[in-house]
Structure 1
Amino acid sequence: MSSIRFICQCCSQPLKPYQSTEILGLSTTQRFAVSMLTSAQGQPAGEGVGRTSREETDIEKQQDGASCRPDEGLTSRESSNNFTLLGEFVPMGSLSSIQKVAGDIFDILTGTKEVDHPLCEECTSTLLEQLDTQLTITEHDNQNYRGSLETGKLMSEFAKDMLQMELTGLELEEARLVKELEELEKNGKRATEDLRAAQVETEALDQQEKQNQRVYSELKQQELDLLDELTSVDNRLRYAQTQLEWLQKTNVFSITFDIWQEGPLGVINNFRLGCLPTVPVSWNEINAAWGQTALLLLALSNKIGLEFQRYRLVPCGNHSYLRSLTDDSIELPLFCYGGQSVFLDNKFDYAMMAFLDCMQQFKEEAEKGESGLCLPYRINVKNGLMEDPASGSEYYSIRTLLNTEEQWTKALKFMLVNLKWSLAWVSLRYCQK
């Protein structure tokens, strides 16, 4: 039969008993079981009991031998394979106990039953040390309990009463603290509810704050836009005021009508009025100069509120003319197409004489008042002459009939000088207002 194999239940190491122990375990156990059965059946009870006691003594010796340390001659490996079977020892004093032991041994030998607690030597030592420690602690606790019990017995009645009173006071304090704890729990619940309500209100306020922040941002953007627009308007206003001041200081007539002389010729707005054999001027330029002159006299008369009599000026560029106020069918042209018959054109001469009539009306109106107008050259409307007082009252005809180019050109130059003085007078009076 093969030897029995066990595993340590603590460290799970395989355990192999000594050969002598195996042989002892098999043969002795079998003989012991047979002898127990035989003695129980054929011998008296007293003798069986004595033998049984001896057998128990032998078994105890064998168990003591199995649980003791291995001999000094054994190796460490053999020593680690030693083990101890832990379990309840049942004295075999009766037939039932003997039969149970025999059945257990048979089950162990046949392998149908496992040993409950096989341990190796090291685990057994550790277990014994733990048991000793627990035993020491238990004995110490037992001594403390006994001392407390003896102290309680020796305590006087007065001390017991004091302790009882203290216990009663502590119970009352406990009841008070329990009530206080209940109040605190109620307060805690109320505080929790208040906290939840505050959290809900806080969330609503947060949402309102976000909405207000969006509205504020929109209003801030609108404010910035309005500020930008206001700044732009202020800049434009300052620019307009600057332009207005500049325009108020500007002489509109002087800017619009520029009169000067170029040698013997008078010039208005870059158009020469007159012609000389040495300085030929086209009739288109002369006609345009007459148009600018008519426009200037009409503007000056409108400024002072003068309405002409007998004739009405109609400035139309190089095709300007005068219309009779007594007969609408009569139009006197202030332009000429040129040719050999220029100085024989009576309508052109009549138009220039009518222009001098209008200019004389303006002079008479402007001479009224404290700041009256004083022209450098006199006008003879009836004969169509311009008089120069500085040269000994010489007269120059504005007509082309029976006249020379030099005389006609000088008369036109004197007329432009009078218009320039009139322009300066009106500009000064306009600026004062």
Structure 2
Amino acid sequence: MTTNAPKSPLPQFVCQVCGGFLQQDSSLDTIDEQMIKPIASSATICDESYNELQQGGSDGTIVIRKTLGRKRLSQSSLDSTNGFAFVAHDLNKDIEQKSMREYRIDINIHERLYDFLSEQYTFDHPLCQECTDTLLDKLDVDLQMATHELTSYKKLLEQLNLSANGQQENYEKLKQELIELDKEEERIKNELLKLEQENERLQNESEQLTKEEQSLEQEEIRYLRDYNEQKRLLFEAEDEQKSIDNQTKHARAQYEKLSKTNAFNAAFHIWHQEHFGTINGFRLGRLPSINVEWSEINAALGQAALLLNALAKRVDLQFAKYKIIPLGSHSYIEDLNESKNGKFVQLPLYTGRRRLTWDTPFDKALIAFLDCVNQFKLAIESKNQRFCLPYKMNEKQKGVITDSNGHQFHVIYQVSKQEEWTKALKYMLTNLKWGLTWITSQLPDDMTTSNAIPSPSSPTVTSPR
């Protein structure tokens, strides 16, 4: 096909690539309906395609409007010509010679031909000469590339065939390995089944153990509560035990302290204060310069009577002719050799006179008391001949006490000066202290207040002023 001006009475088509007008070859003029039928029967022709002939333009050109169901048959030419194909002016004469229907049939025949060609190839028809040459060059390049690819594929196929021949030798080995792998797979499946069963059993045991663990936790909580309660009771018992131990230690310390304390020494403290002998703080005696109250002297004599009576009981001594009755500040001595009105004569160890001019019973009581001290000395000497008192008392001379220098002092207040009488009473208390010391040294384990000191029935002795 050429792009020269058309002279044929057939309609003029455009190139589907460049859009130029085409002149059909004269061999296409003889194509009729009978020739196109075998082609049309094997090709898909759109029945909706039609041509509408219109006359337009100032020169009377016939315009063929194409409406196609297939885009690839005339899309490029229709886009280039806005959907119109121009037909030569000479076509008016042919149209006059042919009817419109016959002309339409001719156009449809050619269109079916181009549709068939377009379906057979990957490009649309019709094409001009230049576009055809360009297309052929492109096809040559595609052919070379396809030939090159075919050569490459052949080489690859040969390599695959060689590799297949080499792998054929290992086929039996691989087949044997596959059989062994199948057996191994079966064994592993069986082992997996056993493991699943074992896992299920372990899960059941785990659930059972979890329940037991929860039960044990509850029991542990209960035991902890009991333990804490018992521990609290233990702490309370330990605190109580510590308290008891402290009390016991204190009681033991007090006991040891008291066990080392002599009951006589604690109950009767004999000491001196300047010129006076004292017992439990009470002074015994009087001086011109120091006027001691008689109430204090009476109390001191009562304490001395109580001490002598307790010491006599300690050595199981029964005084001859006398009996000491300790009654505090009103203590007295009964004369067992004299009686009056059926009663023993009482010799008072106290006096109530402000000025003692002559008190015979009081003096007799002091003489009797000194005699009882002498009897106590003799009782101790009978037990221990090495025992002796610092101041001597003579049985023949009643009421007389002698110091280490041989000076004699009377306990009778009327016949002595106050200084001498005070010394006599001081020496008498000193002899009592020595006797007390010997008693405590001989009987240390039995010096208790309950059995060493008799309970006086008299009122408590008043303290001196």
* Pairwise same-fold verdict (TM > 0.5): yes
1:208 and 2:219 are equivalent in the alignment: yes
Quote the offset at 1:186 in angstroms: 1.5
2:435 alignment partner in structure 1: 422
Q: Secondary structure at the match of 1:322?
A: strand
- Any conservation in 1 of the 2:333–2:365 contact (CA below 8 Å)? yes
2:358 to 316, 319, 344: 344
- Which digits, 9 at most, give the CA deviation of each residue in 1:57-102, with x for residues without a partner? 7222399849x9999xxxxxxxxxxxxxxxxxxxxxxxxxxxxxxx
Identity between Structure 1 and Structure 2 (%)? 36
Distance in 2 between residues matched to 1:160 and 1:376, nearest whole Å:
142
- Any conservation in 2 of the 1:353–1:381 contact (CA below 8 Å)? no
Q: Secondary structure at the match of 1:279?
A: coil
Distance in 2 between residues matched to 1:295 and 1:265, nearest whole Å:
19
Q: Secondary structure at the match of 2:287?
A: coil
Within 5 A, what are the aligned runs for 1:262-277? 262-277=273-288
1:369 to 353, 375, 383: 383
1:287 and 2:287 are equivalent in the alignment: no
Within 5 A, what are the aligned runs for 1:271-420? 271-323=282-334, 330-340=345-355, 342-370=356-384, 372-380=386-394, 384-392=398-406, 394-396=408-410, 398-400=411-413, 404-420=417-433
- Which digits, 9 at most, give the CA deviation of each residue in 1:207-228, with x for residues without a partner? 3333333344444444444555
Quote the offset at 1:310 in angstroms: 4.0
Within 5 A, what are the aligned runs for 1:168-183? 172-183=183-194
- Which digits, 9 at most, give the CA deviation of each residue in 1:263-295, with x for residues without a partner? 543322221212233332211111111111112
- Any conservation in 2 of the 1:264–1:410 contact (CA below 8 Å)? yes
Size of the aligned set, in residue pairs, is 306
Larger radius of gyration: 2
In the alignment, structure 2 segments of 5+ residues that lack a partner are 1-36, 51-65, 82-152, 447-465
What residue identity is the alignment partner of 1:317?
Answer: G
Q: Structure 1 residues 388, 160: closer, same or farther in 2, change over 3 A? A: closer
1:52 to 47, 59, 80: 47
Distance in 2 between residues matched to 1:368 and 1:384, nearest whole Å:
22
Distance in 2 between residues matched to 1:381 and 1:65, nearest whole Å:
181
In the alignment, structure 1 segments of 5+ residues that lack a partner are 1-45, 72-142
2:25 alignment partner in structure 1: none
- Which digits, 9 at most, give the CA deviation of each residue in 1:34-79, with x for residues without a partner? xxxxxxxxxxxx9xx999374497222399849x9999xxxxxxxx
For the aligned residue pairs, the C-alpha RMSD in angstroms reads 4.4
Distance in 1 between residues matched to 2:445 and 2:270, nearest whole Å:
22
- Any conservation in 2 of the 1:258–1:268 contact (CA below 8 Å)? yes
Q: Secondary structure at the match of 2:427?
A: helix
- Any conservation in 1 of the 2:322–2:372 contact (CA below 8 Å)? yes
Distance in 2 between residues matched to 1:69 and 1:170, nearest whole Å:
68
- Any conservation in 2 of the 1:343–1:403 contact (CA below 8 Å)? no
Distance in 2 between residues matched to 1:163 and 1:199, nearest whole Å:
50
Q: Secondary structure at the match of 1:280?
A: coil
Q: Secondary structure at the match of 1:368?
A: helix
TM-score under structure 1 normalisation? 0.56
Quote the offset at 1:363 in angstroms: 0.8
TM-score under structure 2 normalisation? 0.53
- Any conservation in 1 of the 2:268–2:307 contact (CA below 8 Å)? yes
